Structure 1
Amino acid sequence: MSDFRTDIGRVAETFGSPRTAIGNGWGWIMAYGVVSILVGLAAFIWPFAATYAATLVIGALLFVSGVFSIAAGLFGRGHEGRFYAVAFGVLTVIVGAVMVFEPVTGALSLTLLVTVWLLMRGLLEIVLGFRMRRRRGWMIALGAINILLAAFILATVPWSALTLPGFILGVSFMMGGATAIATASDHRKGAEAFGAIA
């Protein structure tokens, strides 16, 4: 029995205990932060292109999702939600097609979607910020900025719908990247990732 415990101890020393392995993987967090900042800069420099690209991508995803929903309703026999699946699929295909073929109209819809996304993200970040041990102020500030950005979008729609989503996404990605880089720096020194309270 003692030999077995000795072997287990050697294995633990070889692979490292969870405590000593806490700093592992900080480079991935750092890489995410750097890439996020670069994406944010690109969106900020070319806001129209960012808005246009996001509109096309989201429209294409909606279109494909709608096609699969229609197929599920037509061929998925024996379930009570067939009519809903077909109706929802048709609606989704129409919305997706509008965003792909009429990106200006889709940009207005995308502006509202970005507003909701920023608002929800900001609220979640503020809640998480109050639960963190380190970088609490960073996360709370990030959440507050995202909520203010959402309010700014609502105040400027529809005139800035073609460029504002690009600017907003750019600022949000850059702030998120800066926060991730700071977190990676802490994690590299042995702090738990994001410092969340269990």
Structure 2
Amino acid sequence: MTPLGNAPANEFHPAGASTGAGWGWIMAYGVVSVLLGVAAFVWPFAATYAATVVIGALLFVSGVFSIAAGLFGQGHEGRVYAVLFGVLSVIVGAVMVFEPVTGALSLTLMVTVWLTVRGVLEIVLGFRMRRRRGLMIALGVVNLLLAAFILMTVPWSALTLPGFILGVSFLIGGITAITAAGDHRKGAQPFAMPA
């Protein structure tokens, strides 16, 4: 048993594992992800368009399978729900695929509603808190201001916001993979969970 705070000897070199094997693939994934994130920031409209079409296609396919489950899945109590949910998903997915600008606008408005509701709830909660009251209220105000900014800049925000969000996701994912690849190259297991 090792003293608390000292890593076991086999943490970076587990028995039977090939030290650092495949780190280049993890690094390549990270670099590509970072490049895609940067591209999404440089061309946010194109990233928004692509994200909207992909999400629409996924919704459409999901809707078709939901309808099939409702029609052919004998004996389960959610058949009507499955069909109705499937029809809604097919319609929304088709709109996003064939009218991506409308789909992007819908996504942006949903984000605006989410920010507004979240901001109001944070302000209400902030006034009820005993500690960190000011911080919670400030967070709520920031979210309300973000929602207002998005609404005031429609349609520009609708055509770029999903692209920027995608860019942030790719950048953070890429940086995480690059750091994991560096650790793996030194002998650590990539994305290892603590024992």
Give the TM-score category using the shorter length: 0.5 to 0.7
Alpha-carbon distance between aligned partners in 2 of 1:195 and 1:91, rounded to the nearest angstrom: 40
| 2:103 counterpart (102, 106, 111) | 106
Q: How does 1:131-146 map to 2 (within 5 A)?
A: none
Counterpart in the other structure of 1:194? 191
Q: Structure 1 counterpart of 2:178, which letter?
A: I
3-state secondary structure, aligned to 1:162 = helix
Q: State whether structure 2 residue 149 is matched by structure 1 residue 156.
A: yes
Counterpart in the other structure of 2:28? 31
Q: Structure 2 counterpart of 1:170, which letter?
A: G
Alpha-carbon distance between aligned partners in 1 of 2:146 and 2:54, rounded to the nearest angstrom: 21
3-state secondary structure, aligned to 1:79 = coil
**TM-score of the aligned structures, taking structure 2 as reference length:** 0.65
Instruction: Give the Å deviation of 1:155.
Output: 5.4
Alpha-carbon distance between aligned partners in 2 of 1:192 and 1:72, rounded to the nearest angstrom: 41
3-state secondary structure, aligned to 2:21 = coil
Change (3 A) 1:166 1:32: same
> CA-to-partner distance for each residue in 1:73-92, whole Å, 9 max, x for gaps?
11222222211111111111
**TM-score of the aligned structures, taking structure 1 as reference length:** 0.64
3-state secondary structure, aligned to 1:192 = coil
Change (3 A) 1:71 1:50: same
Instruction: Give the Å deviation of 1:33.
Output: 0.3
Unaligned runs of at least 5 residues, structure 1:
1-15, 117-150
Counterpart in the other structure of 1:60? 57
Counterpart in the other structure of 1:76? 73
Instruction: Give the Å deviation of 1:107.
Output: 0.7
Q: State whether structure 2 residue 93 is matched by structure 1 residue 96.
A: yes
Deviates more, 1:77-86 or 1:16-25: 16-25
Alpha-carbon distance between aligned partners in 2 of 1:34 and 1:49, rounded to the nearest angstrom: 20
